[in-house]
Structure 1
Amino acid sequence: MINTETTPTAYLTEETSPVSLMQNSNLNPAPFELFKSIRLFDSITLKEIQNIGLMNRIDTKFVFHGELLPRLLHQLTNYYNILEIEDSRIFTYENIYWDTPHFSFYHNHHNGKLNRYKVRHRRYKETSATFLEIKFKSNKKRTIKQRMSVQDLHNKMPSTENMFLKQRLPVEFHHLQPSLFGTYKRITFASKKSNERVTIDFDAQFQNPESSKKVHLKKLVIAEVKRPIALASSLFLDIMHNYRIHTSSFSKYCIGCSMTAPEQIKTNRFKMQLRGLNFIELKDNHKWN
């Protein structure tokens, strides 16, 4: 079964920071075979990959079991560069997602509404860079991201950050609160031939801010291809097609909420995805236990 844990209720206060709650969840070390695979790639610097931008883009997602990852990386080695910062190639992302008291962002996604928003704080643990981000999914299925640099993760929205949100969000979304904590590891690739990025996320953990219920997805891999236009060719997409892995509308935020707060929200739309996750987590593979 998917690894879940419920700890005594820990409502957010100024003394109980999201950072301390997330630090109590120790991410698994990456499998040794994965470390060997990523060392075969040519590297790209943070500055170089930032030049690719892609704040306005088309996203294509896939989910699969971690046992496939070493084979997949072997096929990518000669065609993609890997992000490297201070000799690290695997990075930890810490996120605090924000929503209305009635989970409006979540339910808009659940109900299939386009022109929808997501708000989060994100900290890149290895560099300590932290941002407040707004992601907008348009009715043309483009992802548009706006963000501002901030000092740290917060459990209350500072006035300057609140103003940033109010200037960019409809009025019904002006009163937000923490709705989910999430951490995961990420590997980032940039195509050598085109304006394309590929991210590989794994070892995801989610925690409900109020109940402190936790979920740990130890075997799941989430891959995302980010391109400026949908028609651009992509080796990664071709490989996924060859493995018969279909695109997915997987949302870490929505799945995290569905698994840690099912009594507060609708989950019908995600039942098939939740069954698929359970199948992946139950599948026996010693390298990803």
Structure 2
Amino acid sequence: MIALNAFAPVTLESLVAQAALLTRVDRKYLLPLDTVADVVSHADPRVRVLDIDGSRDFAYDSVYFDTPDFLAYRLTALRRRRRFKLRTRTYLDTGGSYLELKTKSGRGTTVKERMPYAPIDRARITPSGGAYAADLLAQR
């Protein structure tokens, strides 16, 4: 078990407000569970954990989209500096759903922009969702 209770909580509202101001660099690692527990036990004490009504463990559903010629995949597979990811993410515990466009800049930073999305539409791109994504990609 990972000892998340050792860290101070952060509310969803506070996290969303802070995250809206961030442009970030992501690094993801695949670790055995016992290694994760060890890493977490050595984390900076200033780390905070999302807490919603006393819960610190959440589920979400993501659906990823690509072009017919798999452009998003190819840009990533070929390690292009400028690339994108389009997905819906539905937070199963809160019911919120979003269409998200994540882009990588030439300098390696990730920028995520999103719009509210009907959960029932999470497995498809609606006309308004397609227009939103096309407009954002045209600006890049």
Q: TM-score, normalised by structure 1?
A: 0.44
**Residues 122, 132 of structure 1: 8 Å contact kept:** yes
Distance of aligned partners of 1:59 and 1:156 in 2 relative to their CA distance in 1, 3 Å threshold? closer
1:43 matched to 2:9: yes
Which residue number corresponds to residue 129 of structure 2? Answer: 161
SS in 2 for 1:113: coil
Which residue number corresponds to residue 79 of structure 2? Answer: 112
Aligned-residue identity in percent:
26
Alignment of 1:40-79 (within 5 A): 40-53=6-19, 54-76=21-43, 78-79=45-46
Structure 1, residues 57-111: CA drift from partner, whole Å, max 9, x if none?
2223322211112222222273211110111101112100000122110011101
**C-alpha separation in 1, matches of 2:7 and 2:68:** 45
Counting matched residue pairs gives 136
**C-alpha separation in 2, matches of 1:47 and 1:74:** 26
Alignment of 1:233-248 (within 5 A): none
**Structure index of larger Rg:** 1
**Residues 88, 100 of structure 2: 8 Å contact kept:** yes
**C-alpha separation in 2, matches of 1:124 and 1:55:** 20
**The structure with more strand, counted as a fraction of residues:** 1
Q: What's the RMSD between the two structures over aligned residues?
A: 1.6
Which residue number corresponds to residue 147 of structure 1? Answer: 114
Structure 1, residues 182-206: CA drift from partner, whole Å, max 9, x if none?
xxxxxxxxxxxxxxxxxxxxxxxxx
Which residue number corresponds to residue 60 of structure 2? Answer: 93
Q: RCO (CA 8 Å, sep 6+): is it higher in 1 or 2?
A: 1
Select between 108-117 and 150-159 the one with higher mean Cα deviation.
150-159
Structure 1, residues 165-217: CA drift from partner, whole Å, max 9, x if none?
121224xxxxxxxxxxxxxxxxxxxxxxxxxxxxxxxxxxxxxxxxxxxxxxx
**C-alpha separation in 1, matches of 2:23 and 2:4:** 28
Equivalent AA in structure 1 for residue 129 of structure 2: E
**C-alpha separation in 1, matches of 2:44 and 2:27:** 20
SS in 2 for 1:56: coil
Equivalent AA in structure 1 for residue 74 of structure 2: H
Consecutive unaligned residues of structure 2, counting only runs of 5 or more, are none
SS in 2 for 1:39: helix
Equivalent AA in structure 2 for residue 43 of structure 1: P
SS in 1 for 2:30: strand
**Residues 8, 48 of structure 2: 8 Å contact kept:** yes
Distance of aligned partners of 1:39 and 1:95 in 2 relative to their CA distance in 1, 3 Å threshold? same
**C-alpha separation in 1, matches of 2:85 and 2:31:** 24
